[in-house]
Amino acid sequence: MFFHRKELISAVQVDEPDAAFGQKLLEQFGGATGELTAALTYWVQSFHVENPGIRDMLQDIALEEFSHLEMVGKMIEMHTTGVDQTAAYKSSLFSIRGMGPHFVDSNGMCWNAGYINEGGNVVRDLRADIAAEAGARQTYEALMKMAPDQGTKKTLHTLLTREIAHTRMFMSALNSLGKLDDPMFGNVPPDETVKLYFNLSKEDGKDQRGPWNEDRGLDYLEDPAPQGAAPKDPVNPDDEASSASSSRQKRAR
């Protein structure tokens, strides 16, 4: 059950209302990386996560994100109040939709649930959450660079900070499951192809090596060739090359 108090979870300050910046702020209200995405993602995950501790954490953070959504909404309200005669307001989407926040991004595209990544497994969910926080943090940094006044910048700083705090929590939870640095999860162990690296994008003499293709037991295919058959020729299907074919691979380590 949800409850609400009119006071904000954290102070919001806007020294210089600016409708153009208000439109940019919509990215964190109704945009892909915004607080609505975060709040709904963590909360909907809590319905299928069985681990009671992690489920509780997801709900705690979801609730905080709803309160942050409210802060962003309040900032947008403040950036669009009393400025409806400015050119910035007139050329903004607020001139049509009215002042205050709306569930669209900074380009006016409606929020949609395709932004949410969740389902079926807590490890998948936590990895999605770390990614969601990374997107949110990145957008807050972009907004801070453009913020027209110190109050706005300070408020954004706190919101950005909380994304880092949540990231730490999600990492801790993932680590408690042993999955922060273990690629495997779920019920299906990998087959033997797990060790291959395919060098498919080439530049003569400049293909790059790094831990991602030099790691423990990885098999670097410098010049990978198809292992599957070509589609049958509908005219002469018997002519088809055998699917067992090619072991032409040139391996390097």
Q: Give the single-character DSSP code of 72.
A: H
Nearest distance from C-beta of residue 7 to a second copy, angstroms = 3
Q: Does 248 bind a second copy (CB under 8 A)?
A: no
Residues 61-80 that bind a second copy (CB under 8 A): 62-64, 66-67, 70-71, 73-74, 76-77
How many CA atoms lie within 13 Å of 24's alpha carbon, on the beta-carbon side?
18
Q: Does 181 bind a second copy (CB under 8 A)?
A: yes
What 3-state DSSP class applies to 49?
A: coil
Q: Does 38 bind a second copy (CB under 8 A)?
A: no
Residues 198-227 that bind a second copy (CB under 8 A): 198-203, 206-213, 215, 224, 226-227
Q: Does 237 bind a second copy (CB under 8 A)?
A: no
Tokens in use for 167?
């990231």
Nearest to 223 by CA among 195, 191, 201: 201
Q: In what order do the strands lie in the sheet with 219-223?
A: 196-198, 219-223, 250-252
Q: Which of 87, 178, 241, 251 touches a second copy by CB under 8 A?
A: 241
Q: Does 252 bind a second copy (CB under 8 A)?
A: no
Residues 9-28 that bind a second copy (CB under 8 A): 9-13, 20, 24, 27
Tokens in use for 3?
């409850």
Distances (CA, A) of 32 to 98, 103, 117: 22, 11, 11
Task: Give the per-residue contact string, 137-176, with a second copy (x = CB under 8 A; - = no).
Answer: xxxxxxxxxx----------xx-xxx-xx-xxxxxxx-xx
Helices 52-79 and 122-146, packing angle to 10 deg: 20
Q: Does 87 bind a second copy (CB under 8 A)?
A: no
Nearest distance from C-beta of residue 83 to a second copy, angstroms = 14
